[in-house]
Amino acid sequence: MDRSWMRASRITAEYGTGVEQFLQFTEMHAPSLRGKYFCPCVKCANGRHQTLSEIRSHLICHGMIPNYTNWIWHGELPDNPTLSHTEAIDVDTGCRIEEMIRDLGQDGFRQAHAPLYDKIENDSKTPLYSGCTTFTRLSAVLALVNLKARFGWSDKSFTELLVLLKKLLPEDNTLPKSQYEAKKILCPMGMEYQKIHACPNDCILYRNEYAKMRTCPTCGVSRYKVKNHEESDVATAENSHPAKVCWYLPIIPRFRRLFANRYDAKQLMWHVEGRKIDGLLRHPADSPQWKAFDALYPDFGNETRNLRLGLASDGMNPFGNLSTSHSSWPVLLMIYNLPPWLCMKRKYIMLCMMIAGPRQPGNDIDVYLAPLIEDLRTMWEHGVDVWDGNLQETFRLRAMVFCTINDFPAYGNLSGYSVKGHHACPICEKNTSFVQLKHGKKTVYTRHRRFLNQFHPYRRLKKAFNGSQENESAPKPLNGKEVHDRVNDIITIFGKTQKKTSSETNIWKKRSIFFELPYWSDLDVRHCIDVMHVEKNVCDSLIGTLLNIKGKTKDGLKCRQDLVDMGIREQLHPIAKGSRTYLPPACHTMSTKEKRSFCHCLRNVKVPEGYSSNINSLVSIKDLKLVGLKSHDCHVLMQQLLPVAIRGILPDKVRVAITRLCFVFNAICSKVIDPARLDELENEAAIVLCQMEMYFPPSFFDIMVHLIVHLVREIRLCGPVFLRWMYPIERYMKVLKGYTKNQHRPEASIVERYVAEECIEYCSQYIEAAKSVGVPEPRHVTTPVGKGTRGYNVVTMTRHEISQAHLYILNNTAEVIPYIDAHKKEVAALNPRFNMMRVLQEHNKTFMKWFRHTIFADEATSKTLRLLALGPNLNVPTWQGYHINNYSFYTKSQDEKSSMQNSGVTVDADSDHFCSASDNNPIRASMHYFGVIEQIWELDYTDFRVPVFKCKWINARTGVRQDEMGFTLVDFNKVGYMDEPFIMAQQARQIFYVEDPCNSTYSVVLQGRPSGLNDAHDPTMLDICETPPFSTAMPNMNDSHYVDDVHANRNDHDEGLWENIVT
């Protein structure tokens, strides 16, 4: 078809005739969407669907894309200018390359990058070699670079692989021979980034009005690196390098690409279409802040595709553990529209800015955030047109920042609040209660009785606390508008050389750049307190004080001298004895025997696979301390292990207070929260902190301990903490560190490799053989019947054992239940003198034979019932390890060879309970049974196999008990149910046992945690998995009859602390 008319004047008849021919061709060949087709005019650029009449109008008014001569968007097959011997080959890759190119072509990409775009089309049709029908040049490169990104191959190793593959393939193959050539093939799919020069002192970014300056107008430092022999005004862009750079990765084109993909566009609607709404807090969309914002801005809330974002930033050392103080600051965005199992995954965490080191920006971070805030403000005020690949339409996208996620120092940098000094709490602000310790040289934050209800008995106590009663009420947090009023008149000049005005009256350092967003002052919680860092700091302080670890304990000579100055707790005042000072034992001071019990308990802990790191490797028996605790180690200790380790040691009230503190953290970290219980939890947090004040020294209460009292408020307003803590951010920082391949330019290396992975991630969605880089697959493939993992063998079992397992399967198969009921009735009718217990016994003896006879007498029964009636093969496949229900189970013998404990198992079973042998009215009730797996079988019924666990069960009546703290204790010497050792593997839940420090006869039962996602995408199977409670109920303490006395001393041992007097 002649297309010279495309270059003719739009007012000529030739052009009009060509337009009509094009419209006829489109109507005959192009796929339509509700009567609409891609419009190839200059403005739409094949990025929007229009009707034929609208396309005619657009082509006449705006003209057609000049280089759109191959009408691939309108049904014409693309030209393939390749070698003649490859033209006739039909390449069927099974991939959606054409769909990828179409999604890539949205928003005028083809018009802007016509040569590169044509090259993509060419590569997508070129076979890998003559006769190849499975891979094209493009799909082969995409599959290879996907592997490179998933497994972290270096550029050099990838080049070597390409060279080897090129030699292995036929000579006419089109595979690139180096990583550089492969990168050039993928260049058109890559996203752009901006490299912005910055003042070395963080005063300005050289953009907008500063774009052409060569020196900083604030501090006068040169924009470029100055060599020793040059003057500062000689250095220019032509002969030198910038002194400091930040990288901005524009967010608008990245959001557009996200919506262009139909799968991602559908996932971005999950918070409306897929979220469970039952009044519980599972997601930020359930939170009052989300709902209040939609009510305040109905235009924004009515468009459900509008984005709610979380912004995170933190410093990292790109060189890993090398001895350097280099601090790079990435800025990340998370999208809360996504389901909770995706929004914190690597694929959907968006790196939008990288601030170069070596110094951290600190309070000057606002300078670098300016480009991001401008785009965010544009997306809020005006929005951007975006193509929705799911609904196949263009809409106006807007976005807002829901909250920021950061550790406490970064909290101060982003919010502008001074998180150091006397008023370090940003919630209490000027009403922060502090004490400046004279000898300890630190500020502590006490008086948590203010947060109790008005008539709580703790308020009346004097000696137990600071010597006075508490009559004040809790301070009221400032809302966004009040904060804005506080900071609106602050004038800040950024830069490291600027002298900061230190005013005691103004605890706000600056007006945060986030207030440039018009809605920012309408949010109740703008910056979130990071639970991860609070929990780690509290755990470090607690462990350090209990074990008296040097450098980490909050007790010592200076602490006791401060007690003297404060005139409280005379029993703990230091006693001078010659050249040494004796510090009497406080109630938290452990004796050597108690320290040894504590350390031995943790040393002997073996946890299930995927539960945590190897806890016993953190215990030093020689020094009686814990070493090398990471954030997640502290999380596991505070959630479950610490309350077990302190059983039988410390005074009762101190032990209960610590246990209640762990219970509070466990409740705070829940992934499903009932709002009706938050008031109770908030009150409990305040009570626990008051109890800690009674027993621990004032120096224990740094700002991180104080922040516990405010955590529940943020849960109430913003939802569960697992989408607002730093665990996924810290994990992503580790990924970014892995991108550092150029030690001289770490930030540039990180950005380049991020952009490359971004491109690979986008393309992988369209390649059949490729797997996502940023959404890793679970370690074990989840199937309904499970999968053996280790120790396979085939063993011939005795008929008695097979009968036990077979009978259990029959009793727990839904299709067999009607036959069970019928047989029981028949047994009772044949034996009218039998009581219920005798009927059940006779049923168990005769059912299998009766069942076989009944099934084969009825030709209408299903094949499954016939196979069950025949019974399993005596040759049984056995395993030492088995994965099912998102748990990895081992046998007891395999556990003994492993550093993990995977053999613990529990099952909830409904059974008939008889009070005596003559009881004819048994009670049907559910009971928890605990045991260990001895053997794992797969019973073979020819067409299917049924996995069962043969277990050693603990007698639920005599070997299981609960103590007053709510712990479940089991005695392995009390074995029961020897005639019923089997359960079906699908019924099993994993537990693990920790030897009770109080009584070695008993073991404490702790719940295991499932790993990975199940088929229903259960939102509780996420990221840092939720830890089940260690106790069935909150440990109780009778507060109403508390005696007003000093409870901080200890009289049951005299192993106090000794300090040398410095002369």
Q: pLDDT of 137-167, one tens digit each?
A: 888 888 888 888 878 788 888 899 999 998 8
Q: What is the predicted pLDDT for the residue at 918?
A: 61
* Average per-residue pLDDT for the chain: 85
Q: What is the predicted pLDDT for the residue at 941?
A: 92
Q: How confident is the model at residue 82 (pLDDT cuts 50, 70, 90)?
A: very low
When mean pLDDT is compared across 534-538, 918-922, 998-1002, the lowest value belongs to 918-922
Q: What is the predicted pLDDT for the residue at 917?
A: 57
When mean pLDDT is compared across 528-537, 577-586, 947-956, the lowest value belongs to 577-586
| Identity of the residue numbered 836 | M
- 728 vs 93 pLDDT, higher one: 728
Q: What is the predicted pLDDT for the residue at 255?
A: 93
Give the whole-angstrom CA distance, residue 617 versus residue 917. Answer: 52
Q: How confident is the model at residue 1027 (pLDDT cuts 50, 70, 90)?
A: low
Give the whole-angstrom CA distance, residue 201 versus residue 204. Answer: 8
Q: What is the predicted pLDDT for the residue at 1014?
A: 44
Residue 915: which residues within 8 A CB-CB, separation 6 or more?
none
Q: What is the predicted pLDDT for the residue at 135?
A: 84
Give the whole-angstrom CA distance, residue 44 versus residue 41. Answer: 5
Give the whole-angstrom CA distance, residue 222 versus residue 933. Answer: 71
Residues 480-523 pLDDT 10s: 999 999 999 888 889 888 666 555 567 899 999 999 999 999 99
Residues 328-341 pLDDT 10s: 999 999 999 999 98
Euclidean distance between the first and the last CA atom of the chain, given in angstroms as a whole number: 101
Please compute the mean of the pLDDT values over residues 960-973 and round it to a whole number. 91
% of the chain with per-residue pLDDT over 70: 87
Alpha carbons within 13 angstroms on the beta-carbon side of residue 592 total 5
Query: Residue 776 phi/psi, 5° resolution?
Result: -65, 150
Residues 580-598 pLDDT 10s: 999 999 999 999 999 999 9
Residues 374-390 pLDDT 10s: 999 999 999 999 988 88
How are beta strands 875-879 and 793-796 bridged, if at all?
antiparallel
Please compute the mean of the pLDDT values over residues 647-661 and round it to a whole number. 92
Cβ atoms 955, 977 nearer than 8 A: yes
H/E stretch holding 940 reads: strand 923-940
- 239 vs 737 pLDDT, higher one: 737
- Strand intervals (E) in 797-886: 875-879, 881-884
% of the chain with per-residue pLDDT over 90: 52
- SS3 readout for 637-648: HHHHHHHHHCCC
When mean pLDDT is compared across 115-119, 601-605, 853-857, the lowest value belongs to 115-119
Which range among 77-86, 233-242, 509-518, 576-585 has the greatest average pLDDT?
Answer: 509-518
Task: Reply yes or no on whether the pLDDT at 983 is more than 90.
Answer: yes
Task: Reply yes or no on whether the pLDDT at 1041 is more than 60.
Answer: no
Q: How confident is the model at residue 1017 (pLDDT cuts 50, 70, 90)?
A: very low
Plot region of 289 (φ>0 → left; ψ -120 to 50 → alpha; else → beta): alpha
Q: Is the N-terminal amide bond of 358 cis, ω within 30° of 0?
A: yes
Please compute the mean of the pLDDT values over residues 262-278 and round it to a whole number. 91
Other Cβ atoms less than 10 A from the Cβ of 653: the count is: 15
Q: How confident is the model at residue 90 (pLDDT cuts 50, 70, 90)?
A: very low
Residue 440 tokens read as 């300890």
Residue 1050 tokens read as 């200890």
Task: Reply yes or no on whether the pLDDT at 83 is more than 70.
Answer: no
Task: Reply yes or no on whether the pLDDT at 1050 is more than 80.
Answer: yes
Q: What angle do CA 632, 635, 636 make, to 5 degrees?
A: 95
When mean pLDDT is compared across 335-339, 394-398, 825-829, the lowest value belongs to 825-829
Give the whole-angstrom CA distance, residue 667 versus residue 206. Answer: 48
Residue 722: which residues within 8 A CB-CB, separation 6 or more?
340, 669, 671, 1022, 1023, 1024, 1026
Find, among 998, 1051, 28, the residue nearest to 598 by Cα: 998
| Identity of the residue numbered 950 | K
- 469 vs 762 pLDDT, higher one: 469
Residue 288: which residues within 8 A CB-CB, separation 6 or more?
524, 716, 717
- Separation in Å, CA 619 to CA 594, 628, 629, 633, 799: 15, 9, 10, 12, 48
Q: Which residue has the tokens 């909830």?
A: 908
Residues 894-915 pLDDT 10s: 999 999 999 999 998 876 655 5
Q: What angle do CA 490, 495, 496 make, to 5 degrees?
A: 120
Task: Reply yes or no on whether the pLDDT at 234 is more than 60.
Answer: no
Q: What is the predicted pLDDT for the residue at 1016?
A: 40
Task: Reply yes or no on whether the pLDDT at 1063 is more than 50.
Answer: no
Query: Which one-letter DSSP state was computed for residue 730?
Result: H
When mean pLDDT is compared across 234-248, 503-517, 986-1000, the lowest value belongs to 234-248
Query: Residue 408 phi/psi, 5° resolution?
Result: -70, -40
Give the whole-angstrom CA distance, residue 375 versus residue 253. Answer: 11
Give the whole-angstrom CA distance, residue 890 versus residue 901. Answer: 8
Instruction: Provide the β-strand partners of residue 1002.
Output: 971
Percentages helix, strand, coil for the chain (3-state, rounded to 5) are 40, 15, 45
When mean pLDDT is compared across 236-240, 325-329, 441-445, 792-796, the lowest value belongs to 236-240
Task: Reply yes or no on whether the pLDDT at 111 is more than 60.
Answer: no
Residue 361 tokens read as 């920006």
DSSP letters along 35-81, please?
TBEE--BTTTTT-SEE-HHHHHHHHHHT-B-TT--S-GGGTPPPP--
Residue 1017 tokens read as 């995408």
Q: How confident is the model at residue 1039 (pLDDT cuts 50, 70, 90)?
A: low
At 935 the three-state DSSP class reads: strand
Give the whole-angstrom CA distance, residue 740 versus residue 744. Answer: 9
Please compute the mean of the pLDDT values over residues 430-441 and round it to a whole number. 92
Q: How far is residue 861 CA from its own chain's centroid? A: 49
Give the whole-angstrom CA distance, residue 546 versus residue 551. Answer: 13
Give the predicted TM-score (pTM) of the model.
0.84
